[in-house]
Structures are given as C-alpha cells and as structure tokens.
Copies of this chain bind each other. A is one copy, B any other.
Amino acid sequence: MSVHRLTLGDVLGEHRRGRPLGTAVVDGDVRLTYPELDDRVGRLAGALAADGVGAGARVLWLGQNSFRVLEMLLACGRLGAIFCPANWRQSPDELAHVLDDLAPAVVVWEESEAVEKARGQVSLDARWVASGEEYEAYVRAALPAPETEVPADSPVLALYTAAFDGRPNAALLSHSALIAHSMALLHVRQMEDGFTFLACGPLFHVGTMMFTLATFQIGGTLVFTPAYEPAEVCRLIEAERCTQAFLFGPMIDGLVEANKDRAHDLSSLRFVSHSPEWDKMITVDDSPWCASRMGGYGQTEVGGMLTFLGLGMGGAGYAGRSSPLVHVRLLDAEGNEVGPGEVGEICARGLSLFSGYWNRPELNEAKTAGGWHHTGDLGRREPDGTITFIGPRLRMIKSANENIYPAEVERALKSHPAIADAAVIGVPDDRFGQSPKAVVVLAEGASATAEEIIEHVRGEIASYKKPRHVEFAESIPKKGYTPDYDALDERYGGGAYPGA
C-alpha cells in the first residue's frame, strides 16, 4: 500500500484517533463523536457490502439533509463505491431519470409521493431502505466491513448538475479531489480547530457539501438541519455555537427578521458582513472568504470553487484568482490561449477537478479536449491577472458579428436604481442575426421606461451591447441562484445562439 494514500476513510481514521472526544455530527437528538461516527460508518459499509455494493457501485440518497448523508458518503468511500445525494423534490419524471441513469444498488429514501411514482416508472434491481427506523435497523444489524484498499483517485461522490441536453449529468468527484478542494477552502476561509458548520443549505448542492467536507477534513463539528428554517437556524447557531452556516443574501435577511428581538445569541458565527442589524448579531470575520463576501467562480465539476475573490482582493476581476491547487487557462475554440483582456473559455487542471460525468463517455471526451477541463463558461484575464467571469459559453449572443455576454449587460441593468432584477437573452434578428433582449423586474414602487433603461445601459457599457428590447416581468425564473435561461428563452422568444 502506498505511503502516500489519503482517502476520506483515512481522514476519518485519523479523527477517530486524534479527536476521540470531538463531536463529529449533531442532528436533532443525534450526537456522535468521531469514534462513534467511524463505528457507524463501518457497520453501514458492512450492510451495503452485504447488498452487493462494491467498487464502482452506486448508492442513492433521496431525502432532506441528515447526518446520514455524511455517513453514507464515508461508507461508500470505504467500499470504493459512489454515493449520490439527489434532490428529492424533483418531479417523478426527473427522479426516474436519476434512477435510470445512476442505476443504484441501494436507495435510501424519505417517504414521498414523487419518489414512489418514480420508483414505479423504472425497472431497477435495487435495495430500497426507508430513511428513518428502517435505516437504523439496517445499520444496527450489520457487521463492520473489513478495511479494503481504495484508490484515492476513485470517484466517491456524484452530484447531478449541468443539464447540457436537457437532462442533468452526475459529476463524479474522487477522494483526492474532495480532499484537495477542502484544503483550498480551509486556507481561504481560515477554518480553525473547533470549526462548527451548520449545513442548512441542500446537501445535494456543492455549495453546502463543500463546507461540510472541509469541516470534516479538519475534524470540526457538523450540525445538520433538514432544511433552511430561520427560527430553527437561529436556535441551532446559539445551541451549538456554530462558527459558520450555509447562508447568503435573502437567507441572512430571513435570520435578521427571525432574530429581530435578539432572542438568540448568534455571536459565535464568524461570518460575512451583510447589514448593520446582521453585523451587530454576529462576529464579522476578516478571513479572505468573508472579507471578499464569498465571491469567486465555481461549478460542481471543479469540486466547488475554481477561483476565489479573496485571493485577488482589490483586483479588477470579479472572480479573483485561482485556488492554489488548480491552474486556469482561457482558451479559444481551437484550444489556443487568448491574451489578457480577451474573452475565452475558462479551462482548468488541478487536484480538485472531477473525474468526468457518470456514464457519459462522449461528453467527457469533449469536456477534456487537449487535457483541459472545459467549464463551458467564458472569462477574461484582467491586466492584473485576476479573472472576470463573463457568462455561459452557450449563452453568448452574437449581434452584427459582435459578441455580447448577458452577464455584463445584466450588471449594467442592475446598476439602475429602479431595477430589482434583470436577465438578458438573445432573440433572433433578421438583420443582425441576434439582438439582446432585457427582461427586467422593477423595484417596488419604482418606475422606468424601456427607453430610459436602454439609455442607462448605453452609458455604462459599449453601445452595441445595449438591449434592443425590454420586457417587464414580475420575477426572473431561477435555476438555483442563476436565471433559468431556458425558461426565459421559451417565454420571451430567445434563440439563434451561435454556440448552442
């Protein structure tokens, strides 16, 4: 066995010895020390192995957040198997796609009509375990799995993302990639001994998962709650003295509102400055992650973050600089590097990168052309070396031979005081090929005409980038945290993108 080996199981083994008294997980009434977690993981691995889960097999979780997500990941890691926590609130059709695509040997599920329907739609030879008492009995009855040698570069986590062809694909992340990403996050976030993370965002998204894993990496404490619920989040932060939670903008506003009577002491939270009320409740942190207000560029395929604003503070680029364990190139369609100031596809290599998508050999080959992972997103190196994220390559608008990037136009639109939210699509145009159309949500009580808005953008960026059409809407449909451009195209007549 290589003296260089380091798997998630090795990390857990070290915590069992190095932190025998340390609290690993808190979830409702459940509190486990690291040795207790390791014991459960061993027995769960034994149960999975008895159901035929070995190297390369898949295990699926369909449910809310739970400490069981972590222990299932670790148990799969011990067997060389792949664990996938998937969004259980999808439609039966979407869930059936996941079941069909992943073909898991074991599914642990929380009771739900949609899951039951999906189960009926597919022919799948899997063991189904209900996530509550049945799961506990499943673990309890098993004998611990013997230690096996698992290569650190074998995939252990699958996260569904990137629906290139209308169906999401499962990005596979290896032990090595997850550990490397955790190290980058430990560095930028300056996570110290005793770090306690409240996983109140969905664990099937890389954003919550990456902090869960970084906390695990240093033997911190993980506090799980089924979903974001402001009052309960406040209670948990106080009760467990959490140092961080998965929170951003509107979620923080929700906590400020829920805690406006200051019933809960949130001062253990060392986090991002947000508003005067919030800053008074917490301890504002000056780590590069918090001081930069958590900026950067990332995607599931790179393990989370590829660049951190905190590594390029004061720089011109909105995405900062690359994580210390990756390297980035901006490439043109032929794979040649573009110069500073020019727009190219953000391509990357490094230790935290994924191992391709499950079951997509052709897509994987295309995404790694020339030995670089192609993110599908466009970016630009500023003269100071920092990186600006421009937008998805497939969403580039071509108008009269000029390239227009929706994100840039959206930034200009949002700088108008009357505009609360905005998204830009390309609509077919007989004369120019395409022309940009803005979909705009006005701020409450504010007003602005299409002409005023177009004029405003013209004052902010090059004239040819200004929208030729403006539509007013009640809201922008979202996919996670970004506009749902497919839905916008459908509703507002988008199309003819040259890259698509």
- Residues on A lying within 8 angstroms of B by beta carbon are 1-6, 10-11, 13-14, 17-22, 153, 176-177, 179, 182-184, 186-187, 190-193, 217-219, 288, 310-313, 321-322, 324-329, 340, 348-351, 353, 368, 371-373, 381, 383-387
Contact = CB atoms under 8 A, between A and B. Distances in A.
A349 to B, nearest CB: 5
A177 B385 CA distance: 27
A184 B353 CA distance: 19
Nearest to A340: B20
Nearest to A350: B6
B321 A18 contact: yes
B385 A20 contact: yes
Contacts of A191: 187
A14 B176 contact: no
Contacts of A324: 11, 182-183, 186, 217-218
Contacts of A13: 327
A179 B180 CA distance: 11
Contacts of A179: 325, 351
Contact of A17 (B184, B193, B328): B328
A5 B371 CA distance: 9
A373 B19 contact: no
Nearest to A385: B18
B193 A349 contact: no
Given A6-B326, A324-B218, A368-B3, A193 B311 contact: yes
Nearest to A189: B187
Contacts of A20: 340, 383-385
A182 B326 CA distance: 14
A18 B193 contact: no
A183 B185 CA distance: 10
State the 10 A-B residue pairs at the shortest beta-carbon distance, nearest first: A1-B371, A14-B327, A18-B385, A183-B183, A186-B187, A3-B373, A18-B321, A10-B327, A20-B385, A3-B349
A153 B4 contact: yes
A4 B312 contact: no
A193 B177 CA distance: 23
B325 A5 contact: no
Given A10-B349, A17-B381, A371 B2 contact: yes
**Among A176, A217, A322, which residue has the most Cβ atoms of chain B within 10 A?**
A322
Nearest to A11: B327
Nearest to A149: B371
Contact of A21 (B10, B350, B371, B385): B385
A5 B349 contact: yes
A328 B14 CA distance: 7
B190 A190 contact: yes
